Amino acid sequence: MIAELGHFALVLALAMAIVQFALPLYGAHRNDRVLMNVAAPAAMVQFTLVALAFAALMHAYVVSDFSVQNVYENSHSAKPLLYKISGVWGNHEGSMVLWVLILSLFGAAVALFGNNLPLELKSRVLAVQGSIGLAFLLFVVLTSNPFIRLDPPPIEGNGLNPILQDPALAFHPPFLYTGYVGLSVAFSFSVAALIEGKVDAAWARWVRPWTLLAWMFLTVGIAMGSWWAYYELGWGGWWFWDPVENASFMPWLVATALIHTAIVVEKRNALKLWTILLSILAFSLSLVGTFLVRSGVLTSVHAFAVDPERGVFILGILCIFIGGALTLFAIRAPVLRAGGLFAPISREGALVVNNLLLCAACAAVFIGTLYPLGLESLTGDKISVGPPFFNLTFGPIILPLLMLVPVGPFLTWKRADLSSALQRLWAAAALALLGGIAVLAVHQRGPWLAPVGIALGLWLLLGSLAEFAQKLQLSRTSWSSSWSRLTGLPGSSIGMTLAHAGLGIAVMGIVAITAWKEEHIVVLKPGENISVAGYEVTFTGETPLTGANYTGSTGAFQVTRNGAQVTKLVSEKRIFQPGGMNTTEVGLHQTIMGDLYVVMGDRMNDGGRAMRMYFNPLVSLIWLGAVIMFAGGILSLSDRRYRIGAPKPSLRRTIAPAE
């Protein structure tokens, strides 16, 4: 019964999406306030209905209602509650319902918090948002319905893949989807602005917080996925340039460009067209990512051709929205006048370079991800594009960007003096260079990447701090005056410092694990030990392991350093029944200086065990950096100017003297 209610709510939500799309759009065209006022309640009702459907599906999972096919295929009554809940989005149908839920949540949020928006703009934004909801609700109802019943109902479900029963992965999809789908708001604002033919500073002030929010969730979502891969896949890698990863990385790159260029529109009324285009591109890449992951085209072009229903549907949605938005852009672009002028060397100029490099880097990822698909469907030739390609194309493009990051904030708007900006950075540059030289002195024979990369990371970190110190005038005035400057700083300013510093920290982590990872592949018998990066790791023995649905063995390790006990680690080998799937659980000892990472392998003929031991120096900085970037986003969102809303265009002045 509850599943049917959910199904019914989903179809009602579809009907509500039609209302939310059609009436306000027509109303805005006819300047009919009644019709325009339909938009906000429609968005909220649509969200409520989708939330009801989602809750019904979750209920089916929690009570293990195996008469629902989706639950039967993806759940099991013996699963812990957390994984019953996360099982809802651990499959295609459920994850699409989550997608639509987040989409309608953003719609409702715009309806709720958008009171300071002009009614026309608000109703158009919500109408576009409704049209996206309409397309994806149709997709769910027609091709991916999660509420289909089974008769007779099976006794027990098939269960969720055991390695996915992991806390980091349970919350990875909601974060990632919030990021993906959050970019729809910027898209809707852009399409609405194109229909109106008006983009101004106020528009940018409305768009930026939404994009920032989406960017923050994308950042954390990507970091969670990478962290999961790091400790669950068992060979210490953290990024694989896998198409699924690239699908989330591309919108992140463009969203990063967008949150920068929106500042230029807000402060200087320039780059308006480019910002509109960028927000269309950002959401388009989200759609492309959804297509790549959901259509099965990545597994094989042939599998896609055999069962194309879902893929073709999403491809259709893709073409309508991307094509439609770009056509509208082409028609309306000439109407939108370019605004403020600026010299090449200026804050605006720096942000243009930022956008240029981010977009080119995104293009490299895009081409590398899609080229093999295109080539195979056109010529039948199969090629592989793997990490070496991305390192050689993405790397050289992103490197100059990282070098320029600290310089940008020192440049003034409109026209800047580069030499004075660089003068203020000399201390940061000198310290970063010193750091690089220190690395060179310690690791003389390492790869060239290490000293250069660490210097770069330090330059990012110290450069951001230098800019912060400059704002507080730390060395020039008294502490109390600096303190009052600090409390007076807008949140977005501190947010920027944090985000840039977080980037520097992440870069150092990436460089350290790439250049200095220590790896030992050995055979150990119980009682034998090996030295890993100053740790003595002793294999103390193994015990048989019996879990709910697996058997295996647990290897125990004693870790000491200079004779003193540091920790005990265990690494497990599990064999799941039925199916005989093998998994490993990594033994992980984390410190800020690096992670000791112990993996037990197969039993060898001589009675020993194959072991893989890593020391991954500074690797946690990668995720620490992502968390700091997220925190920067929060501070930036707390900025007062987003709460009080954008200044109203001064209509009164033109209306008042009419008498």
Partner 1 sequence: MRLLILLVAILLAVPAVAVQPDEILKDPMLESRARALSAELRCLVCQNQSIDDSDAPLARDLRIMIREHLVAKETDQQIMDFVVSRYGEYVLLKPRLTGSTLLLWGSPFAILLIAGFALWWRRAPNAATEKPLTEAERAELRRAMTPEA
Residues that bind partner 1 (CB under 8 A): 89-92, 95, 161, 163-164, 172-173, 225, 232-235, 237, 240, 242-244, 293-294, 296, 298-299, 341-344, 352, 356-357, 359-361, 363-364, 367-368, 371, 375, 379, 381-389, 392-394, 397, 521-523, 573, 581-584, 599, 601-602, 604, 610-612
DSSP class of 602: E
Tokens 């403020």 label which residue? 340
Q: What's the min distance (Å) between Cβ of 366 and partner 1?
A: 9
- CB 28 within 8 Å of CB 120: yes
Q: What's the min distance (Å) between Cβ of 522 and partner 1?
A: 6
Residue 149 or residue 603: which is nearer to partner 1 going by CB? 603
Residue 151 or residue 381: which is nearer to partner 1 going by CB? 381
Q: What's the min distance (Å) between Cβ of 71 and partner 1?
A: 16
Residue 177 or residue 630: which is nearer to partner 1 going by CB? 177
CA distance 209 to 645: 11
Residue 296 or residue 526: which is nearer to partner 1 going by CB? 296
Coil, strand or helix at 124: helix
Residue 152 or residue 544: which is nearer to partner 1 going by CB? 544
| β-pairing verdict for 581-585 and 535-546 | unpaired
Q: What's the min distance (Å) between Cβ of 364 and partner 1?
A: 4
Coil, strand or helix at 610: strand
Instruction: Read off the tokens for 597.
Output: 């990472």
Residue 11 or residue 360: which is nearer to partner 1 going by CB? 360
Residue 217 or residue 394: which is nearer to partner 1 going by CB? 394
Q: What's the min distance (Å) between Cβ of 438 and partner 1?
A: 25
First to last CA, the chain: 64
Residue 53 or residue 293: which is nearer to partner 1 going by CB? 293
Q: Minimal CA–CA distance to 90: which of 165, 191, 185?
A: 165
Q: What's the min distance (Å) between Cβ of 450 and partner 1?
A: 16
Coil, strand or helix at 546: strand
DSSP per position, 498-544:
HHHHHHHHHHHHHHHHHHH-EEEEEEE-TT-EEEETTEEEEEEEEEE
Q: What's the min distance (Å) between Cβ of 40 and partner 1?
A: 32
CA distance 128 to 328: 13
What letter represents residue 527's amino acid? G
Residue 242 or residue 536: which is nearer to partner 1 going by CB? 242
Q: What's the min distance (Å) between Cβ of 244 and partner 1?
A: 5
Q: State CA 38 to chain mean position distance.
A: 33
Within 8 A by CB and 6+ apart from 54, the residues are 6, 88, 97, 98, 101
Handedness of CA 635, 640, 644, 648 (dihedral sign): negative
Handedness of CA 44, 45, 50, 52 (dihedral sign): positive
What letter represents residue 94's amino acid? G
Q: What's the min distance (Å) between Cβ of 434 and partner 1?
A: 30
CA distance 584 to 570: 11
